[in-house]
Structure 1
Amino acid sequence: MARARVPSYHDAMGSAAGTARAWGMPLVAVVASAFLLSACAQVPVDVLLPPKPTRPVGDGGPPTAVAFAPLRGTPADAAGLRHPSLAVKIDNHPGARPQLALNRSDIVFEELVEGGLTRYLVVWHSDVPEAVGPVRSIRPMDPAIVSPFGGVIAYSGGQEYFVDLMKATSLVNLVFDEDDTGLFERAADRPGPHDVILDATEAVGRNAELPPPPVQFAFGSGDPLASPALAAASTTHLALAFSEGGSRSWDFDAGASAWLRSQDGEPDLEASGERVRATNVVTLRVGVDWPFGEVPLTILVGSGEAWVSVAGRTAHGTWSKDAEASPIVLTADDGSVLRLAPGNTWVELVPLEGSVAFAP
């Protein structure tokens, strides 16, 4: 297994104007003419077919509005996207596994927390399940992760300062410790404190007037790293270490065109019994600070080294984020935009003190 190159990391607090908005978004061709989403301005949720023809189409029904899920880049029903995203703090303690509905999410962020463990911040939009969990407490880096999405954030509580940071964002906060409306419940078949479950459908429904999330990453074809200019390396296995305890890995399944996840050397399963999988795995090397004692703070405003792994290839580049409310921008080594394939994405926030390795 070839180890990744020695990581580099530097702060970039100045504006990334030109780069931060330079997201072209070529999408799946579902009609004769192609559509291009550009993030030079806010990307609209609905991408409509050409103007309604004067004669009936197909069975005589009206033309169908076509939209693309902003967090997946996949075709979707336009009406089904007119609601906010739901971000939820999900437990990844061994006692919390298997989690609910990870494969139905659009984007999962994995971050280091105290004790060398990791925790997830999971975002659902294109496919909101009935229930998600186990829900756990907020951490200080979560406002920087979730602010670009807007919408709703759900968590079980947390240190008062961390909760105040999250409530200072534009998101609607749903907090288990403060809820008396029945959005959360404790599952009888799970051990505490890994037993808090959220009614995700109801959480979104109560906030349906909020706008959908903006596009976060640029999407390309099903094999967006095929260009020789990207120098993408053939990859079948990713090995990630956030700390000295525990390991994370992904193996590419060519038949499914998906990355299959393992934890601590065992296949990672969700509550449905399905293997946890991703179309895209985005690995970011991040700095970690310790201003809160044993609770680590992942530094996300700045820039660092990045890899995008999709369709059995991995391309190297950089990530940048110029403000808490700005999205993460992925740039290839040749200066072009690093694009993802349409589908779900895992973002691995691996500390500089951890390790990243890829095998062909």
Structure 2
Amino acid sequence: MLKKWLVTSVAAIMMVTGCSQDKEPVEEQPEKQVDEEIVKDTELSFQYPLSGLKTEEEPGDRAVAVVVNNHPKARPQSGLTQSDIVYEVLAEGNVTRFLAIFESEHPEKIGPVRSARDYFIEIAKGYDSLFIAHGYSPEAKDMLRNGTIDHLNGIQYDGSLFKRVDFRQAPHNSYISYENIEKGAKKSGYLLNKAPEALTFYKEEQLDQITGEETIEASVSYGNSTFDIRYEYDSDAEKYHRFSVGEDTVDLDSGESILLDNVFIVEMDHKVADNQGRKEIDLISGGRGYLLQKGVRTEVEWKNIDGRILPFVNGERVKLVPGKTWINIVPNIGQVTF
């Protein structure tokens, strides 16, 4: 009897087990997937202080200002497409040089680097920049030796921080990398972790407030055809191309064009300072200017506010379009045609 009961129980257990195995297994619930296409982009919280472009992280880099050679033998240059602001200013002999200011981007290579002038130092100070040059005028040398601005100069670091390329001849062949700028700053005890005070920019929804006279082309003459330039508005990109001697200004290494969102042209008094033809330029007194944005131009007044050259209309500061800015300093506003 016991044996019969055991056989019956085992059979029953096997039937129950078999039935449960015949059932479809319960599927695990997949992790909830987020459809990226229907997720709205979150608004970026910060913007770069000198370009106004948005960024995910709070900017914390110090501005770096580099004197860049504009001699025909130095063209095309390296790094200018990554600058937030470029000042184009006369040196001796109706030759222009650039002061390129970097904060939002750090080029691998910048140059050719050229020698300092006192007015480049004064402009760089307005952005609390680390100032980079290779050489100096007597006035600039005194300012640098007196500690007017934190600086690295190729006279002291030629062949170490500053490198000479073999495809160009001196003085058109001195370059510096951002990596070497950081090395030089550390060696000299200069901090690079404080962002400059921000400029004033339009918000995206305010750009349709920009009014003025339609201007597709603007030309600037510096009295030397090799340095005369033309700006041409690209309505598709909504930016300005810069042309020098009829050629689009591009980066040597990438081949990318300089594309500008603000072209600011200002008249400043120029005087010959010495028998070498060096210039004294009045950066302080204010004066006439033009501001080109979004294909239109506005006649403005420029003022020096804490070392920065800024546009005003009827006493109110004019905002900049987020992006890149090029500032031409000319002796006479009549050198500009549209």
Q: What TM-score does the superposition give when structure 1 sets the normalisation length?
A: 0.75
Distance 1:186 1:316, change over 3 A: same
1:274 partnered with 2:256:
yes
Counterpart for residue 154 of structure 1? 132
Q: CA deviation at 1:167?
A: 4.5
When you count helix as a share of all residues, which structure comes out higher?
2
1:286 aligns with 2:265: no
Amino acid at match of 1:326: G
- Please state whether the residue corresponding to 2:336 is helix, strand or coil: strand
2:52 paired with 1:73? yes
**Secondary structure of 1:103 counterpart:** helix
* 1:251-266 pair list within 5 angstroms: 251-266=232-247
Give the counterpart letter for 1:284 in structure 2: V
Q: Is the 8 A contact 1:103 1:278 kept in 2?
A: no
How far did 1:291 drift? 1.9
Compute the displacement of 1:190 (Å): 1.8
SS in structure 2 at match of 1:149: coil
Structure 1 equivalent of residue 299 of structure 2? 316
- Structure 1 residues 223 and 261: CA distance shift in structure 2, 3 A: farther
**Cα distance, 1:209 vs. partner?**
4.3
Match of 2:321 in 1: 341
Q: Deviations over 1:301-330 (max 9, x none)?
A: 1101121111111111100116xx532231
Q: CA deviation at 1:286?
A: 1.1
Question: Equivalents in 2 of 1:315, 1:353: separation in Å?
Answer: 13
CA contact (8 A) 1:248 1:263 kept: yes
Sequence identity (%): 25
Q: CA deviation at 1:117?
A: 1.1
**Structure 2 portions without partners, runs of 5+:** 1-34, 37-41
1:196 alignment counterpart = 174
Q: Does 1:237 align with 2:217?
A: yes
Change (3 A) 1:67 1:226: closer
Alignment match of 1:248 (pick from 229, 241, 244): 229
Shift of 1:123: 0.4
SS at match of 1:143: helix
1:103 and 2:81 aligned: yes
Match of 1:87 in 2: 65
State the superposition RMSD in angstroms: 2.5
The structure with more radius of gyration: 2
Distance 1:279 1:201, change over 3 A: farther
Amino acid paired to 1:132: I
Partner Cα distance (2:57, 2:144) in 1: 30
Structure with bigger strand share is 1
Q: CA deviation at 1:64?
A: 9.4
Counterpart in the other structure of 2:24 = none
> 1:249 touches 1:261 (CA, 8 Å); kept in 2?
yes
Question: Partner residue of 1:124?
Answer: 102
1:219 maps to 201
CA 1:224–1:111: 2 relative to 1, 3 Å: farther
Contact 2:121 2:131 in 1 (8 A): no
Q: Given residue 262 of structure 1, which amino acid in structure 2 is its aligned partner? A: F
Structure 2 length-normalised TM: 0.79
**Residues 222 and 281 of structure 1: is their aligned pair in 2 closer, same or farther, counting only changes over 3 Å?**
farther
Assess, with a 3 A threshold, how the Cα gap between structure 1 residues 140 and 180 changes in structure 2: closer, same or farther: closer
Partner amino acid for 2:132?
A
Alpha-carbon separation, structure 1, partners of 2:247 and 2:225: 15
Partner of 1:161, secondary structure, is helix
Cα–Cα, structure 1 residues 235 and 180, in superposed 2: closer, same or farther, change >3 Å? closer
The answer to which of 249-258 and 237-246 deviates more is 237-246
User: Partners in 1 of 2:204 and 2:219 — Cα distance?
Assistant: 23
Distance 1:193 1:125, change over 3 A: same
Supply the AA of the counterpart residue of 1:339: K
Query: Alpha-carbon deviation of 1:159?
Result: 2.5
Aligned partner letter, 2:121: P
Residue 287 of structure 2 is aligned with which of 304, 309, 314?
A: 304
User: Which residue type is aligned with residue 233 of structure 1?
Assistant: E
Alpha-carbon distance in 1 for matches of 2:47, 2:211:
29
Asked whether the equivalents of residues 230 and 244 of structure 2 are also in contact (C-alpha less than 8 Å), the reply is yes
Cα pair distance change 1:223/1:183, threshold 3 Å? farther
| Amino acid in the other structure paired with 1:286 | M
Contact 1:288 1:299 in 2 (8 A): yes
